[in-house]
Amino acid sequence: MMPLLTTKGLSRNFGGLRAVDSVDFTLMPSEIRAVIGPNGAGKTTFVSLVSGCIQPSSGMIVFDGADITGLPAYVRVRQGIAYTFQITSVFANLTAYDNVALPVQRTLSDGRSKGAVRAGVMAALERTGLADRAHMPAGQLSYGHQRLLEVAMGLALKPRLLILDEPTQGLADSEIDNFITLVREIAGSATVLLIEHNMPVVMQLADRITVFNAGKILAEGTPEAIRENVAVQEAYLGTAP
């Protein structure tokens, strides 16, 4: 099977700091991959490089067999890479419905067909549990629901790769359970790359886990293997003897 995504020697400097340092990474289709690591390890920078929000200092990104390193973010979205980054894309003054209508319109050949837009918007809102809040201004939703709204906007793009950056932040425990169900369902039709600090969520969801530390991949493996990895315990989990 061909990988959906690979990076080769991917690096990004900020001044003298190597936030992402020569990362070789492979993601297979329909995987749920969690990316974990201490604060400042380079996780957000890494997924920002994959989505095209920032450009690499060096290295290469291949998506579905094609070199996308030089492509702008909006072209990558069109090719099937959707991302949600900590409420950067939600318009506070628009309703939840209208926020999701924007990406739905982009996926329809006739984006002005009201019925098709409505069906697409409501499907995404229902999947994320926000259907009964469709007509609330996004800015009036709780922080956790704004995170879910971002997921709905990502889903509306019908992505092949959905990148989620700390999606459970601000969600209540009951909402986290729904979120886990949602991600499993999303994984039926898309590959999921998930930055997540909530370890129970990571352990329940991930097929494989990639551990970042100081810009590099420290370890990679199944949840069981990562839990037992002594270097990971020392660097991140803080549970080494």
Ligand X SMILES: Nc1ncnc2c1ncn2[C@@H]1O[C@H](COP(=O)(O)OP(=O)(O)OP(=O)(O)O)[C@@H](O)[C@H]1O
Q: Among 29, 40, 111, 221, which residue sits at the site for ligand X (rule: CB under 6 A)? A: 40
Cβ-contact 196, 167 below 8 angstroms = yes
Residue number with CB closer to ligand X (15 or 188):
15
Nearer to ligand X, 20 or 124 (CB): 20
Minimum CB–partner distance for residue 19 and ligand X (Å): 3
Binders of ligand X among residues 1 to 20 (CB under 6 A) are 14, 17, 19
If we measure between CA atoms, which residue out of 212, 160, 219 comes closest to residue 191? 160
Q: Which residue type occupies 152?
A: A
Decide if residue 44 touches ligand X (CB under 6 A): yes
Instruction: Determine the straight-line distance between the first and last CA of the chain, rounded to whole angstroms.
Output: 40
Among 42, 56, 154, 159, binds ligand X (CB under 6 A): 42
Q: Within 45-104, which residues bind ligand X (CB under 6 A)?
A: 45
Encode burial over 99-123: b for 16+ CB neighbours within 10 A, e otherwise. Answer: bbbbbbbeeeeeeeeeebbeebbbb
**Choice between 39 and 109, CB closer to ligand X:** 39
Residue 147 makes contact with ligand X by CB under 6 A: no
H/E element holding 144?
Answer: helix 143-156
Residues near ligand X (CB under 6 A) are 14, 17, 19, 37, 39-45
